[in-house]
Structure 1
């Protein structure tokens, strides 16, 4: 039986021995899963036909890392809260060098006004010194703090160490059923006021919804779009729509990934033009920031008969293959006692470069609070 102590002891040993691992918890459940790869071989996938845990980059021309299911030991623990070390060391945030990001945003706005793009998401990397190397303590704080996010700590000695708390599902597949989410519109959460959305915000959300349904149309059938609802993520509110469909027998998981990744929320649109602009102008490598991560082609066995004593249960059990991928947002890479923090924002023709800079500063502070 897995206990808290045995789980984190196994993880600490894995990290000390420089062996690959991932520990994670999906949104709105209290289950922590842990994969410990038994050697340090670097496995990759380009077909997405294997079973395992995948860690994919922003640019799929680069390697998507795979922890193969059969090469890993697995632990699962159900728990609501993890005890963490109480020491708090404030990390200094020097956010004075705004010139480069403001220039980049101005260049993006210029391209949009010239009709080369409708929207582009521009980001930057912030470097912070860390006083200690305790990523698993950070994971515990993420787990306690972000219940509506996919929280994770991922490590491979040949790739690096990444941590994050992302609220954004790229998509999930159960058997042939595909579920993805259209998320747009942002306003601060206020406990005492009713939520009011403008026509423009509903329109923006509809653009993203239409974009997703167009992207999946060649590969799916029976597309169903839910009503728009307001959802809370931390101190922010968003408009959200669920889009479900059935994957055609002739379509592969890879074709769905290529259709939906990267999303308008992390790249822009038209997708290829926005991606080309980012790769040419951001002047740093995003690596796995705004990539995706999650469970790939895992078998799920579900009993149709809920009576556990019924010996005929097995005859009525269904086996489905399931995948679930989350966009790698609100994340940081730990490298040589430094935290590399990734922050960005969506740029349109009406964006204000100084305000976009301030937004990235605020996002940096949110992540630094968890690392401190």
Structure 2
């Protein structure tokens, strides 16, 4: 396959690239930069594939006009996540008693709850990094498994020699903008997917998701002429499920920068009020999220009908691939009623999205 041949060449030459597949689609697209320049996004007029951090780090893009664009059909059959994992035991992938991770994260959640009860913010989304000692021998095989396991997610692998390699399968759209028509979603609340037809959501999860919906609507109000919301529904994302509200708006103008700055980071990955929750997390989490909970995707592409389109996704369910280890990033929404142990369990469940692919 020409797409993969070019990919292998770029890996050998240590040049930037991205491969990705949009949710539910069958084509894998590749963008292979012709040199190793680090192109920074400055005014959102740039055209290419962007990767932006949660807070700390460079916001860069792989430019359309300085890259080779290729695509190929994805023809393999989807895999059940449960069929992955090799001989790695379920207990190893789902270690609900791992120390010191459990104690550290539960302490962080307790500090979050205390801050909420003190009135500092209404909701916050703490996270943690899980280090998996592992040398990834075949990135292409790993990406193939990701594509097969998560056909309804936005799947990607991106590399720049000055930034590193990231891979993920995110269920969350930040913006899909065509002309002045915006589509986005309010995604929050989590429980394990046991294949049930009817799903019961508790008040904590409903409240958490409503925070996200209210935030997005509030941010879009001054930018939009109309806003339409779907009723909340259950969105399945591999091993876990979330509550989701689909949102569509007609914007007064197609200003990507204003839109992204208004919505990023959403309460689904940060909290609200946004600036207070973000500053709390930067101070209290004890590590840098880098590109976890940032965003990535197509910036100012041209659609078949000659309209400008941007499709950006929140960088969830992701991992950073280093030489001797893989860093898996996971988080959970915390409100005043949150239980620290339950929140740690939620992060363990979420971590299996990536860890099932690794083993």
TM-score (structure 2 length as normaliser): 0.91
Indicate whether 1:74 and 2:69 are aligned.
Answer: yes
After TM superposition, the structure 1 stretch with the greater mean CA deviation from structure 2, 70-79 or 188-197, is: 188-197
Q: Tell me the residue number matched to 1:266.
A: 269
Match of 2:139 in 1: 135
1:132 to 1:103, Cα distance in 2 relative to 1, 3 A:
same
In the other structure, the counterpart of 2:237 is 233
Contact 1:172 1:325 in 2 (8 A): yes
Structure 1 match to 2:318 = 331
Could you tell me how far 1:364 is from its partner in structure 2?
A: 2.6
Distance 1:202 1:132 in 2: 39
> What pairs with 1:351-370 in structure 2 (closer than 5 Å)?
351-370=338-357
Matched with 1:306 is none
The answer on 1:297 being equivalent to 2:300 is yes
- After superposition, the C-alpha distances for 1:22-68 in whole angstroms (9 at most, x for unaligned) are 00101001110000000000001131111110001101x64211111
Displacement of 1:188: 3.6
| Larger displacement relative to structure 2 (32-41 or 233-242) | 233-242
Question: Partners in 1 of 2:87 and 2:317 — Cα distance?
Answer: 20
> In structure 2, what is the equivalent of residue 342 of structure 1?
329
SS at match of 2:259: helix
Match of 2:256 among 253, 258, 280: 253
CA drift at 1:107: 0.9
Once the two structures are TM-superposed, the CA of residue 128 in structure 1 deviates from its matched residue by 1.3
Distance 1:180 1:102 in 2: 32
Provide the C-alpha distance between the structure 1 equivalents of 2:104 and 2:196, rounded to a whole number of angstroms.
39
Give, in angstroms, the shift of residue 220 of structure 1: 1.6
Give the aligned length.
Answer: 349
Distance in 2, matches of 1:206 and 1:359, equals: 19
Relative to structure 1, is the Cα distance of residues 109 and 37 closer, same or farther in structure 2, using a 3 angstrom cutoff?
Answer: same
2:351 partner SS: helix
Task: Measure the CA separation in 2 of the matches of 1:329 and 1:168.
Answer: 7
Name the counterpart of 2:2.
6
Q: Distance in 1 between matches of 2:331 and 2:30?
A: 29
What SS class does the counterpart of residue 265 from structure 1 fall into?
Answer: coil
Choose which of 45, 50, 75 in structure 1 pairs with 2:46. 50
The answer to whether the Cα contact below 8 Å between 1:46 and 1:63 also exists between their aligned partners in 2 is no
> Could you tell me how far apart the structure 1 residues matched to 2:272 and 2:289 are?
18
Q: Quote how far apart the aligned CAs of 1:13 are.
A: 1.1
Could you tell me how far apart the structure 1 residues matched to 2:267 and 2:259 are? Answer: 15
Deviation at 1:81, TM superposition (A): 1.2
Alpha-carbon distance in 2 for matches of 1:217, 1:17: 47
From 208, 211, 232, give the equivalent of 2:212. Answer: 208
Deviation readout 1:304-336 (Å, 9 max, x if unpaired)? xxxxxxxxxxxxxxx200000010011110112
Contact 2:153 2:170 in 1 (8 A): yes
Contact conserved, 2:208 with 2:335, CA < 8 A, in 1? no
Cα distance, 1:149 vs. partner?
0.4
Q: Is the 8 A contact 1:169 1:326 kept in 2?
A: yes
1:185 match: 189
Give the one of 74, 87, 104 matched to 1:100: 104
Deviation by residue 1:171-228 (Cα, 9 ceiling, x = unmatched): 1100111111112333443445533445665454333222211111121211122233
Q: State the alpha-carbon separation in 2 of the partners of residues 276 and 237 from structure 1.
A: 28
Aligned partner of residue 298 in structure 2, secondary structure: strand
Q: Which residue of 1 aligns with 2:150?
A: 146
Gaps of 5+ in 1: 303-318
Give the CA deviation at 1:90.
Answer: 4.4
